[in-house]
Structure 1
């Protein structure tokens, strides 16, 4: 399991075409990718299971805790990205709720765009 940052502080100022915003690049794939939005309510949990393909969890709002194959949980919050490799056992839970984007694809390398925590 790896933890990355995609918050505003890790983004790049974009000014082309009269733009004025910050973009934090996350991932690029050549192979098909499944992208979903996950809502964990208060006390929500994604039970301990193996990743079928490499998986990237992007925490948008709220906070929670994640673990890989060790029993140690790591706290995550808005702006954190968690990456699990194919076959890696993992779990996500939240005491007060969190919303996250989940990207799954055979070809994910978040280190190309994001820095680790």
Structure 2
């Protein structure tokens, strides 16, 4: 399990075409990619299971904890991106609720665009 950041603080200011915004790039793929949004209510859980393909979980709101194959949970918050390799066991839990985008693809490489969390 690796945790990256896509928060505003790590984004790049865009000014082309008279624009004024910050863009945090996340990933790029050429193969089939599935993207979904997960809504976990209070005491919600994405149970402990193996990733069938590499997965990237982007925390949009709320907070929770995640773990990989180790039993140690790591706190996540908006702007964090959690990456699990194919076949890696993992789990996500929240007490207060959490909303996240999940990206699944055979060719995810989040380190291409996002800094790893310190």
In the TM superposition, what are the counterparts of 1:46-57 in structure 2 within 5 Å? Answer: 46-57=46-57
In the TM superposition, what are the counterparts of 1:8-19 in structure 2 within 5 Å? Answer: 8-19=8-19
Quote the Cα distance in structure 2 between the aligned partners of 1:34 and 1:52: 12
Which SS does the other structure have where 1:116 is aligned?
Answer: coil
Quote the Cα distance in structure 1 between the aligned partners of 2:40 and 2:77: 13
CA-atom RMSD in angstroms: 0.3
- Gapped regions of structure 1 (runs ≥ 5): none
TM-score (norm 1): 1.00
Aligned to 2:33: 33
- Gapped regions of structure 2 (runs ≥ 5): none
Quote the Cα distance in structure 2 between the aligned partners of 1:43 and 1:61: 15
Quote the Cα distance in structure 2 between the aligned partners of 1:11 and 1:113: 10
Q: Deviations over 1:29-75 (max 9, x none)?
A: 01010000000000000000000000000000000000000000000
TM-score (norm 2): 0.99
